[in-house]
Chain A
Amino acid sequence: MISLQKISKFFNKGKTNEVTALNNISLQINEGEFVVVIGANGSGKTTLLNIIAGVEMPSLGKIEINGNDVTPLPEYKRSRWVARVFQNPNNGTAPDLTILDNFRLAALRTQRKNMTIGINAAFKKKVQEKISELGMGLENKINQPMGNLSGGQRQALTLLMSVMDDTNILLLDEPTAALDPKSALVVLKLADKLNKDLGMTTILITHNIKDAHQYGNRLIQLNEGKILRDINAEMKSRLSLPDIFEWFG
């Protein structure tokens, strides 16, 4: 469970260009929820995810993950609970390392990286099995550099990598913004599957109203750093696409 308590984030505090990116937000996200976050540009969506991931520290307020106060923890320590997929497909994987090496790191997301060789036949087989679920034929390319793949392939693999270890929170910041429609569909379907099959607590930022309507069991609209709407599963299932469009009218 993720609990944000009275979180505010100011940028350039005290200067003429001061911005209140998040304004006293309190929010509880339960285990296994799939939360879709929408809102205009600059409404604070990315900042919200960055605060949860530890990329940004809140100016005020407290964050708990699974009952642990993680407010002061840097990003690399929060990776014990949190996995991320970035808007830029290049950010989630190391291009010069092989697919296999990338998956090895992901498998150790919550653990120490020891000075022992961890890639063995069993590990390779496990990775190949995981990757073959994608149906992209990438399971035969695990020794190729990640950089050889397309943005959509890399984004799908980044998603798969998030479930190699036992993190159970998945943050996706516009993961399909840089992808063609076909790859975008693959990535969203996969995120949906990981949420349903493995119970990954998922937060998805999207600009695509159709996706916001179709995916997730909770819908949050941000506006100027505040939560404007928070729609639960039952209400969300009754929302129609035009209803959501109207919010942006």
Chain B
Amino acid sequence: MSQFYLTALQLSICLGPMALGIFITMKIFNIPDITTDGSYTLGAVVTAVLLSNHWPVLAVLPLCMIAGSVAGICTALIHTKLRIDALLAGILVMTGLYSVNLIILGRSNVPLINIHSIFNTLSIFNNDIYNQLFVALLIIIVLIFLLRYLLLTDFGIGMRATGNNPIMTKSMGINNDFIKIIGLAIANALTALSGFLVAQYQSFADINMGIGIVITGLGSVLIADALRIWMNVSNIGLQILFVLAGSLIFQLVLAFSLAMGIDPNFLKLVTALFVLFIVALPRVSSQLKRAS
């Protein structure tokens, strides 16, 4: 039983970078980027192919992130240079990536057994599950510090201002297009990092593993936003932690649904309904308040 929730914790950490990517695009830049489904799978397929060919995992990690960032740059260029709606730009790149991913992977599913994965680089505990958790935690903690640092730098202030008031940033000497390209590159590199982690955690990469993953990230960010408003927090570091908490809550809800005996085929439906619930809750409650 507790195995269920441990798995949820591990998975939520693996999906954490992707949720942070959505946080960057949606909350920092105010751009709805759904390249995510494609760049997540991209990270996983690059990982699967390179690891199967016995590349060292520490070389695979940066390559995955670079691949993800290229996907993000494609979306950003379509959006900023061709002035195409960000949603459409993301859908175009995501659709194109399906073929790219299939070509890279060679077939629709590649198992990763008997390879040296990131999760068996350390063996501190006797229990492998704890070792995996430890590695994942280590990665996410480094990420939290890096992202927090980035957002507090002068460049990071520029990023935050661009999403908040693009008229102002232009008069502050900021090239809004350029900073958005960098932002989408970072966001999709993080998403690919999640693909890298999940592929190794579940020991396979599948061409369809990214379908609907953007909703998971979106849900995490929405939960984080609800927490932020509820606790009236503006601290950047806390906001990052809230996103990861959102990711955990999300996975716990899914794990709980499974534990309740819900057919795994309904998991995407549960996901969609849960996100709907989070989005609708503040609206419904404010309507109720007005009615009473």
Binding site for B on A (CB under 8 A): 53, 74-77, 79-80, 82-84, 86, 90-98, 101-102, 104-106, 108-111, 113-119, 145
A110 contacts across to B, CB distance below 8 A: 173
A111 contacts across to B, CB distance below 8 A: 173
One of A90, A94, A104 near B154 (C-beta < 8 A): A104
The 23 sampled A-B contact pairs (Cβ below 8 Å) are A75-B171, A76-B169, A76-B170, A76-B172, A82-B171, A91-B167, A94-B160, A94-B168, A96-B234, A97-B157, A97-B161, A101-B160, A101-B161, A104-B154, A105-B158, A105-B174, A106-B172, A109-B171, A110-B173, A113-B153, A115-B150, A116-B153, A145-B234
A245 shortest CB reach to chain B, Å: 34
How many A-B pairs with Cβ below 8 Å?
93
A102–B161 alpha-carbon span in the complex (Å) = 8
Closest to B234 in A: A145
Closest to A100 in B: B157
One of B157, B168, B176 near A91 (C-beta < 8 A): B168
A172 shortest CB reach to chain B, Å: 12
B173 contacts across to A, CB distance below 8 A: 76-77, 79-80, 108-111
Query: Given A80-B173, A117-B152, A118-B153, are A86 and B158 neighbors across the interface (CB < 8 Å)?
Result: no
Contact call B164/A105, Cβ cutoff below 8 A: no
Contact call B153/A105, Cβ cutoff below 8 A: no
For the complex with contacts A76-B172, A94-B165, 20 further pairs of A-B residues with Cβ separation under 8 Å are A75-B170, A75-B171, A76-B173, A79-B170, A79-B172, A84-B171, A86-B167, A92-B171, A93-B165, A94-B164, A96-B164, A97-B157, A97-B161, A109-B172, A113-B154, A113-B155, A113-B157, A113-B158, A115-B153, A116-B154
A79–B176 alpha-carbon span in the complex (Å) = 13
A194–B165 alpha-carbon span in the complex (Å) = 25
A145 contacts across to B, CB distance below 8 A: 234
Task: Flag whether B149 is at the interface (Cβ < 8 A).
Answer: yes
Query: Given A104-B157, A116-B154, are A97 and B164 neighbors across the interface (CB < 8 Å)?
Result: yes
A75 contacts across to B, CB distance below 8 A: 170-171
A109 contacts across to B, CB distance below 8 A: 171-173
A118–B149 alpha-carbon span in the complex (Å) = 11
A205–B277 alpha-carbon span in the complex (Å) = 50
Task: Flag whether B175 is at the interface (Cβ < 8 A).
Answer: yes
A86 contacts across to B, CB distance below 8 A: 167
B168 contacts across to A, CB distance below 8 A: 91-94, 105
Binding site for A on B (CB under 8 A): 149-150, 152-158, 160-161, 164-165, 167-176, 234
Closest to B161 in A: A94
A90 contacts across to B, CB distance below 8 A: 165
A79 contacts across to B, CB distance below 8 A: 170-173
B175 contacts across to A, CB distance below 8 A: 74, 76
Contact call A117/B153, Cβ cutoff below 8 A: yes
Query: Given A94-B164, A97-B161, A116-B154, are A105 and B172 neighbors across the interface (CB < 8 Å)?
Result: yes
A176–B172 alpha-carbon span in the complex (Å) = 21
Closest to A75 in B: B170
A108 contacts across to B, CB distance below 8 A: 154, 172-173
A49–B165 alpha-carbon span in the complex (Å) = 20
B243 shortest CB reach to chain A, Å: 16
A199–B152 alpha-carbon span in the complex (Å) = 33
Contact call A91/B165, Cβ cutoff below 8 A: yes
Chain A CB count within 10 A is highest, among B150, B170, B176, for: B170
A1–B157 alpha-carbon span in the complex (Å) = 31
A84–B172 alpha-carbon span in the complex (Å) = 9
Contact call B154/A117, Cβ cutoff below 8 A: yes
Closest to B27 in A: A96
A244 shortest CB reach to chain B, Å: 30
A4–B58 alpha-carbon span in the complex (Å) = 58
Contact call A105/B161, Cβ cutoff below 8 A: yes
Contact call A114/B154, Cβ cutoff below 8 A: yes
A92–B171 alpha-carbon span in the complex (Å) = 8
A108–B160 alpha-carbon span in the complex (Å) = 15
List the 7 shortest-distance A-B pairs measured between CB atoms, nearest first.
A79-B173, A94-B164, A94-B161, A113-B154, A94-B165, A113-B158, A118-B154
A167 shortest CB reach to chain B, Å: 9
B153 contacts across to A, CB distance below 8 A: 113-118
B166 shortest CB reach to chain A, Å: 9
A195–B168 alpha-carbon span in the complex (Å) = 22
A180 shortest CB reach to chain B, Å: 23
A101 contacts across to B, CB distance below 8 A: 157, 160-161
Query: Given A113-B155, A117-B152, A118-B154, are A97 and B160 neighbors across the interface (CB < 8 Å)?
Result: yes
B165 contacts across to A, CB distance below 8 A: 90-91, 93-95
A102–B164 alpha-carbon span in the complex (Å) = 11
B120 shortest CB reach to chain A, Å: 34
